[in-house]
Amino acid sequence: MAQQSTDYVTLVSSDGFEFKLQRSAATVSGAIKRMLDPISNFTEAQTNTCTFENINGVVLEKVCEYLYYNEKHKNNKDVPDMDIPPELCLELLMAADFLDGESCTAVCLISNADTGLV
């Protein structure tokens, strides 16, 4: 039975850590947005939970931090760089590549346009 889409979603890392985020922040990432898209029939969309088999807890925590950082500075003129520990940068780079790591509104708009929603 499909649940209703909630304000908060859960991101689960490969080693079982769960992070609860605001949906608006999480959907900044194109990949997460597509997974949680209510019109798709993905399990993620129905349970409001994304599980990442290839991202561990430490990295996913940083990803969540970025998602909120992005949300916060969306319309700010002078955005300070977020601090990233050097030992994490390679894993984050891979994660960012996987997650489409930024506001991919372009992709979403186009996909929405394809489905006739916009």
Give the type of residue at 96: A
The token pair at 42 is 């993905």
Question: Among the residues of the chain, which ranges form H helices?
Answer: 23-26, 30-36, 43-47, 57-72, 89-99, 105-114
Task: Name residues contacting another protein, limited to 10-69 (CB under 8 A).
Answer: 28, 63, 66, 69
| Least Å from the CB of residue 22 to another protein | 15
Task: Name residues contacting another protein, limited to 67-96 (CB under 8 A).
Answer: 69-70, 72-79, 81-82, 84-86, 89-90, 92-96
DSSP classification of residue 55: -
Pick from 7, 49, 47: nearest CA to 25: 7
**Of 8, 102, 115, 117, the one binding another protein by CB under 8 A:** 102
Binding positions for another protein, rule: CB under 8 A? 28, 63, 66, 69-70, 72-79, 81-82, 84-86, 89-90, 92-97, 99-103, 105-106, 109-110
